[in-house]
Amino acid sequence: MDRYSAVSRVLIRVLLLNLAVAIAKILLGVATGAVSILTDGFHSLTDGGSNVVALVALRVARRPPDTEHPYGHRKFETMASVGILVFLLLVIVQVLSAAFNRLRTPVVPTIDAITFLVMGATFLINIAVVAYERRAGRRLSSEVLIADSHHTQSDLFTSLTVIVALIGVELGLAILDPLAAVIVAGFIGYACWEIFQETTRILADQIVIAESEIREVVRGVPEVLGCHRIRSRGATDHVFLDLHVWLEPSLRLDEAHRISHVVKDRIMARYPQVKDAIIHIEPPPQL
């Protein structure tokens, strides 16, 4: 099984679990009249929506390079992470709107043992989903799985906040229900910030491998006198690299070409995530 098929299988499993959790919370929110549970359910529903976005993006990202996309389609997976970010922003608007409406028009929700049982069960499912998806994301070096696990992790904080609020409602503090929804928006906002940082790092071509590490590998080739202008970009598992290496000016062209391939082979052996490395040959600078 290739990487994209493995990522897709993880996403399909997570999608089914997220839909089950979302439906349970939404039905419970409608039955109890608790705005915090209902908004938490809609938050969980966007987990499933983001899974669908990621699955569609993966079908595009797995395509091989072509004449119009010589670097491949890998960034479509990163764009899926941006889609997840948009989903989260929409949830924040929905949550805040519902919370402020409930603050203006207070309603005491109906809370019983089944309410806490359902919320506790969905909380445990989310814990399992986060652990499974994050572990798979690291194993497969997939930022879309890691980003989606951040999204699902925010469900843990929101669900915990809702459970605490429901306990407060049972004690006669009905205002905690809409206040919990506002706190949910804060947790979602933090998840947005984490995803934003990761995706902009890739889309803005931030350095992926430290120059010092590449320089150490290059200096291991005896004929190389030095190197500079080391640049890397891409995702952690799909890196493009280019650098300039210094060789003796007296070397024949074919010999210099051979050495450049030695440098490239050593870099790609040390860093399998490097999909291509462009080696520029030049004489050492005049001191």
| 257 has pLDDT over 90 | yes
| Greater pLDDT, 47 or 244 | 244
> Quick check: 142 pLDDT over 90?
no
Distance, in Å, from the CA atom of 41 to the CA atom of 23, rounded to the nearest integer, reads 7
Domain count, the chain: 2
Q: What is the DSSP string of 92-126?
A: HHHHHHHHHHHHHS-------HHHHHHHHHHHHHH
Is the same domain home to 148 and 270? no
For the stretch 76-126, pLDDT in tens is 777 777 877 887 788 788 778 878 877 787 777 888 888 899 999 999 998
Listed residues 170, 203, 236: the one ending a domain: 203
Residue 218 phi/psi, 5-degree rounding, is: -65, -40
Angle (deg, nearest 10), helices 35-61 and 176-203? 20
226: domain range? 211-282
Both 144 and 274 in a single domain? no
Query: Global pTM?
Result: 0.65
- Confirm whether 287 is domain-assigned: no
Domain shared by 169 and 261, yes or no: no
Which pLDDT score, from 0 to 100, does residue 178 have? 83
Alpha carbons 24 and 31: distance in angstroms, whole number: 11
Most confident residue range from 1-5, 24-28, 168-172, 181-185: 24-28
- Alpha-carbon distance of 168 to 263, in angstroms, equals 65
Which domain CATH number covers 65? 1.20.1510.10
pLDDT for 132:
93
Domain finish residue from 203, 224, 241:
203
In a domain, 14, yes or no: yes
Count CB atoms within 10 A of the CB of residue 174: 19
Q: Give the pLDDT of residue 221.
A: 92
Cβ-based burial of 11 (10 A; exposed 0-12, middle 13-18, buried ≥19) = buried
φ/ψ of residue 107, rounded to 5:
-140, 130
pLDDT value, residue 247: 94
* Shared-domain flag, residues 194 and 217: no
User: Over the stretch 153-206, which tens digit does the pLDDT of each residue have?
Assistant: 777 877 888 888 888 888 888 888 888 878 877 877 877 887 788 788 888 888
Cα–Cα separations (whole angstroms), residue 141 to 83, 168, 236: 19, 42, 7
